[in-house]
A and B are shown apart, each in its own frame.
Chain A
């Protein structure tokens, strides 16, 4: 199994540009989520999905959109990038939405918005 994969590894955008961060998992996990990691702020939840067709907001959802059309993929969209979105983005997955599940993280995407 490849586990949780993310593309691209690095991206530089200009303010106002749009892009999609890709996340995929091959473990047949129902639950997927996106976090951002910033110095001094730790990791914060952006959006999550408990299964195909179902998404919800986390702690810092503004400026980001998600959709979940398949179990395997959970892309994160920035519609109009802002410098405040400069961060490292991590995708995570776990078997199901429940209290007992271990979560697995991808390698991250380092995004810089100029």
Chain B
């Protein structure tokens, strides 16, 4: 059974720092991996989708990488801002569209 782990569970950084969020998964036979953002009491907003054949995807200040063989993905956030404060979730797709989620990283960016 696929297991997804996100480290750290919580992170607090000063504004302007570059930071890395980690996601690891136990079964490398995945189709794709998706990073989401969740604000308190809100739904999930898709940030980046990386297909299994890709090594990275970029959107603005966000860059996600994927290393299938080692079962790892990282989300890099450049020049963090207070508005980036949220919980970040990674989810792997290894059976059709059925996602297995990590527990999330709760990020606080202090002004």
Chain A residues near B (Cβ < 8 Å): 4, 31, 33, 35, 40, 42-45, 48, 50, 58, 90, 92, 94, 97-108, 110
Fill in one digit per residue for B40-70: 1 if any A CB lies within 8 Å of its CB, else 0. 0111111001011000000000000000000
Summed over the interface, the residue pairs from A and B with CB atoms below 8 Å come to a total of 61
Partner of A98, one of B42, B52, B97, B99: B97
Interface of B is mostly: strand
Chain B residues near A (Cβ < 8 Å): 31-32, 34, 36, 41-46, 49, 51-52, 89, 91, 93, 96-99, 101-104
Partner of A99, one of B31, B42, B104: B31
Taking a contact as CB atoms under 8 Å apart, the answer to whether A105 and B97 are in contact is no
Taking a contact as CB atoms under 8 Å apart, the answer to whether A99 and B102 are in contact is no
Partner of B99, one of A4, A40, A43, A100: A43
